[in-house]
Amino acid sequence: MNRFYTLFLILFFTGLSLPSNAQSDITLQNCTKYLEPEFISDGQQYKALLSGGEVAEFHTTFYANNYYRIVGATGKMEKNVIFSIYDEENHLLFSNKDHKNSPYWDFQFTNSINCTIEAKLNQKEVTSGFVLLLIGFKQ
Amino acid sequence: MPKNKIPNSIKFLILISIAAIVTFFILRKNKTKNDAATDEITTEAAIMEDIDQSANIFKYNNILFSLPSPYQISLLLEQSGIPYNKDLLHTTSKASDYVENFSKAVNFGIYGSDLGYINIYRQTQDAASYFAVLKILSQEIGLYNAMDKPTIERIEKNIENRDSLLVIVSTTYRKIDNYLKANDRENTGALILAGGWIESVYILTQQIKTNPNKELMTRISEQKRPLENLIKLLVPYSNESKDFYFLVDRLIDLAYTFDEIEDKYTYVPPITDAKNKLTIVKSKSELVMNKEQLASITDKVSVIRNYIIK
């Protein structure tokens, strides 16, 4: 009987933490399948919890003569992350919104430049969730 | 003496009560977080409304700072035909001297960057000892989940395969980054990144002494923004210890030297090839670094590195 109670409690608390972990795992799988092994990860994982029209932004440097891939995902369904890249003078260089919210896009930089990447949810489909962005480069 | 037995039904009631109390606190904590987040959003929204009606940027936790992989610097060195120089690497015999979390984490970043350099130059005879050190340090830092047995075995199996190893090690670093962030150990993650960046820039500045090369000079001057990002990552923890404070203080001093580099940027419209999902960014940037600035950066990076590996 005691074992039953213990098992009940273990399952109860495990159940509490499952939904968020499961969402993170699926999001990660949706990102990595477009990145590796063709592209090498920069070793960092960019994650932000967003709701509504909130925007996560991050600042990065892309080196000259390198190929990069940026992948964005949230949850099970693809094409629910809109990401845009701006240069240091705030010119829009690219937005996946113009390409059916493509989950990934490749970039080639003829010069090294500093960029800001903004990511937000496709509000038509998702109202809140973790947005994950990964950056990979090619040898 | 007869044992006082508590009936099972009472035990169950006690367990249920404990579960209810714990659940209450878990949910309450989340609610408090949500309330705090709501307050932040409300405050932020009010500020942003004043600045720009169309903007809705969540500025509290969602500004992220990215550092280029240290392996990109090693790849550039190798592609430029600069020979391998083991003397520039941090000696593995020092690894056992590190006691504090600060020195273990920052040196984990240094040894990781060294392993990338060794791997890119296909110096497999040196790779094993650096990987052994990383394995020990990872356990001491508490990265059991991110650097688990299957990952270690995968790395060991591919130690002679440069391309596979680069992918596996970079993925492992990404897992470590995620694990540390998920466990509220961003300070350790930031130190690992700092170690990797310092080591790669150290190798670059030392190599340029004997191999002057315009491309390498440019790559050094391009470290201005990554350094700013690194400082922003480290600053929140700078009061954690004397070492942490020193590191941030020295990096800020280094950033002043980078600020002196002349910087010109010209926007050129990019070209997008939708079929191949590729955008070619053609904007031009020019960084002009003089010899004095290079010498100062080289010295400052060397001082920081010597302090953290001591």
| C-alpha Rg value of chain B to the nearest Å | 24
- Which is nearest to A107 in space by CA: B223, B268, B273, B65? B273
Residues A60 and A115: beta-carbon distance below 8 Å: yes
B65 bridge partner residues: A59
Q: Does B206 touch chain A (CB under 8 A)?
A: no
Q: Kind and range of the H or E element at B114?
A: helix B101-120
Q: Do the interacting molecules here have an ipTM over 0.95? A: no
DSSP 3-state helix, strand, coil percentages of chain B (rounded to 5)? 70, 5, 25
- Summarize the confidence of residues A67-90 as an average pLDDT: 94
Residues of A with CB below 8 A from B64's CB? 46, 48, 56-59
CB contact under 8 A, B229 and A111: no
pLDDT tier for residue A31 given thresholds of 50, 70 and 90: confident
Question: Residue B43 is which amino acid?
Answer: T
A71 bridge partner residues: A104, A134
CB contact under 8 A, B164 and A37: yes
Q: Does B279 touch chain A (CB under 8 A)?
A: yes
Q: Does B10 touch chain A (CB under 8 A)?
A: no
pLDDT tier for residue B11 given thresholds of 50, 70 and 90: low
In whole numbers, what is the pLDDT of chain B averaged over residues?
84
Q: Exposure pattern of A99-108 as b/e (b: 16+ CB <10 Å)? A: eebbbbbbbb
- Concatenated DSSP letters of B21-48: HHHHHHHHHHHHHHHHHHHHHHHHHHHH
**Spatial separation of the C-alpha atoms in residues A35 and A45, rounded to whole Å:** 12
Q: Does B13 touch chain A (CB under 8 A)?
A: no
Which pLDDT value is given to residue A58? 86
- Concatenated DSSP letters of B267-305: ----EEETTTTEEEE--EEEEE--HHHHHHHHHHHHHHH
pLDDT (tens digit per residue) in B254-302: 999 999 999 999 999 999 999 999 999 999 999 999 999 999 999 999 9
Q: From the CA of B304, how many Å to the nearest CA of chain A?
A: 23
- Which is nearest to B257 in space by CA: B223, B286, B282, B281? B223
Is the pLDDT reported for residue B46 higher than 50?
no
pLDDT tier for residue A8 given thresholds of 50, 70 and 90: low
Which pLDDT value is given to residue A1? 53
Which pLDDT value is given to residue B184? 87
Helix (H, G, I), strand (E, B) or coil at B6: coil
More confident residue, B46 or B182: B182
Which pLDDT value is given to residue A16? 45
The answer to whether the bond into A37 is cis (omega within 30° of 0) is: yes
Is the pLDDT reported for residue B83 higher than 80?
yes
DSSP B83: P
- Summarize the confidence of residues A67-73 as an average pLDDT: 95
Is the pLDDT reported for residue B132 higher than 50?
yes
pLDDT (tens digit per residue) in B133-189: 999 999 999 988 788 888 889 888 888 888 888 888 888 888 888 888 888 898 999
Is the pLDDT reported for residue A52 higher than 80?
yes
Is the pLDDT reported for residue B235 higher than 80?
yes
- Summarize the confidence of residues A13-17 as an average pLDDT: 48
pLDDT (tens digit per residue) in B22-34: 554 544 444 444 4
Which pLDDT value is given to residue B58? 39
Is the pLDDT reported for residue B43 higher than 50?
no
Is the pLDDT reported for residue B111 higher than 90?
yes
**Spatial separation of the C-alpha atoms in residues B248 and B267, rounded to whole Å:** 33
- Percentage with pLDDT > 70 across chain B: 80
Which pLDDT value is given to residue B52? 37
- Summarize the confidence of residues B206-216 as an average pLDDT: 91
Residues A108 and B278: beta-carbon distance below 8 Å: yes
Residues A65 and A134: beta-carbon distance below 8 Å: no
- Summarize the confidence of residues A76-100 as an average pLDDT: 95
CB contact under 8 A, A102 and B277: yes
Residue-range domain boundaries for chain A:
2-137
Instruction: Return the sign of the alpha-carbon dihedral for residues B294, B298, B304, B308.
Output: positive
A113 bridge partner residues: A62
Residues of B with CB below 8 A from A29's CB? none
Q: Which residue of A has its CA nearest to B22?
A: A13
CB contact under 8 A, B12 and A5: yes
Residues of A with CB below 8 A from B279's CB? 93-94, 105-108
Domain boundaries A2-137, corresponding CATH code: 2.60.120.380
- Concatenated DSSP letters of B193-251: HHHHHHHHHHHHHHHHHHS--HHHHHHHHTTHHHHHHHHHHHGGGTTS-HHHHHHHHHH
pLDDT tier for residue B7 given thresholds of 50, 70 and 90: low
User: Of the candidates A32, A63, A87, which has its C-beta nearest B267's C-beta?
Assistant: A87
